[in-house]
Structure 1
Amino acid sequence: MSKAVEIVEVAPRDGFQPIGPWIPTETKAAFLRRLAAAGLRRIEIGSFVSPTAVPQLRDTADLLEVAARLPGLRPQVLVPTARRAREAVQAGARFLVYVLSASEAHNQSNVRRSVAESVEDYARLLDALPGDVELRINLATAFDCPFDGRMAVGPVLELVRRLVAMRPDVEICLCDTTGRATPDHVAQLCAAAAACCPQVANWAYHAHDTYGLGLATTYAAYQEGVRVFDAAAGGLGGCPFAPGATGNVATEDVVWMFERMGTDTGVSLEALLPVAQDAAALPGASAGGRARQALGPCAAAEERITSLEKSAR
């Protein structure tokens, strides 16, 4: 298997969505440009959802136009229903992320319908999807639900089988929505999913860092062959419909870990760090991660001082 990994930057959607103060569209556009300049080629730029439920994302259609002007960028947008998927396609989206939950309670909280109803809705989306539109499934609460607790592997696998049978060529992302997954649980489900559905070419993993395990679970998924990972610059994030969930694993932390392992990410950490700093400083943002502090201006100054002291000796 290839050692290289692909990082999907989700701060403009998952990171910005819980922020209360309005982030101007031009500020969001500037983040997109800077993230792309740092080498990120897949960015989840927003979501087609109710502007009443998630007002921060009401300008996603405008950001699609910005993303279309960035060479080499594959912008993706999240959609919770087939109706929202149609709106996204009409606005120019060519990479959709359909989200549903493995747990009944969270699916009701998130999209106001049962899991079975979401599966039926997904079938309607497939029937109407244009041939030039890429598709991914985000399976939320694949490991843990804020209402139902730890998810058993068996029922989650059964849901994965049903979705794969409907269209096997989609990318499937197993999501730790609450950040309560442990490395062994992630490894178990990733291995079992790959074994039961070998026809799936691309598996992805979405980590939150609520308990400081985001990097550990990301590495566990990597060991089981996953090569696509979601992360958010500045460690931003938090699900409005998952009480207690905090930010995503920080992109800068993930890049640092993989590069330190000798695994190519295609991302310039030097270019990413100032973007992550600015993301973390957004009013109302809930930031996380460690690499910014470890590699930031103070660390650089200490390194220069140490170098000068060595020269003096």
Structure 2
Amino acid sequence: MIVVGGEALVDLVPENERTESGLAALVPRLGGAACNVAVALGRLGADAALLSRLSTDAFGRALLRRLSSSGVDTSLLQRGDEPTSLAVVNPVENGVEYTFHVHGCADRRVVDPGPLESAHAVSLGGLSLVLEPGASAYESVMRRESHRGSLIALDPNIRDPLIDDAAAYRARFENWLPNVDLLKLSAEDAQWLVGDSARDPVGAAREWVTMGPSAVLVTHGGAGMSVVLRDGGRVDVSVPSSTVVDTIGAGDTVQAAVLAWLARNDVLSGSAVAALGTEQWRAVLRFAASSAAVTCSRPGAEPPHAAELDELASC
């Protein structure tokens, strides 16, 4: 079982047509980094559960249906009458920007459920490790499950507007790394974490891999992705050509696809990840890149099903 901890929310995405005021109508799309990862894992055939707190409002009920229909175990979900978090999406030249409405919302009030007896891996990140009081609960889960021997995968998925104290967050991030087996992040996130937009993200990854993780995976958008290994090795792959409709959820799909590949190949543990060779990592990254390309080919965070990837591979 792969337990994904973190937020489930609604993205409000502008339509192409604009009103007389110059503003576009906003269409609700179900998302949230952790929810996207869990949905992608379920669709890729992995045994996955989401640890979060969902509202009992209409959005929360829709999120629950989405998770269930994607094959995600919902037994760890907590419920409350607080509202669902909202993220207003603003497309920009190199991706999207977000404005968040999260005060007093359900997903930040999650509590630590105690030992995750059935978990072989735990995936964390996103808003869930920023917004209190839930952030401390997830951090507790991370440290306990790491000590219990579960593989810990972390994707910080930085959302700068929600981080009040950048220096404190960066210190906290480095404090997590001894408990992390697999660190995945975008090039932009890596540069934010080192406080230098001109810094080589792979160079930063080489520093972080000495602090705990067995591997650090860096995504470069349309330029592909890289993984840096503890022994100093590096593997790079390109992104398959496809029509990009929407990049929302692409990074979450990468996180899920990596974990799904590890589970499918029976290497879902910290020691097994540390032992992966160059060709195995190349296969991991190619699978992740192909999965993310499908997500980018359609609007909203809509990760592929395993059958879709099998069909593409056979073409």
TM-score bracket for this pair, using the shorter chain length: 0.3 to 0.5
Normalising by structure 2, what TM-score? 0.39
Rg: which structure is higher?
1
Please, what TM-score do these two structures have when normalized by structure 1?
0.39
Relative to total residues, which structure has the larger helix share, 1 or 2?
1
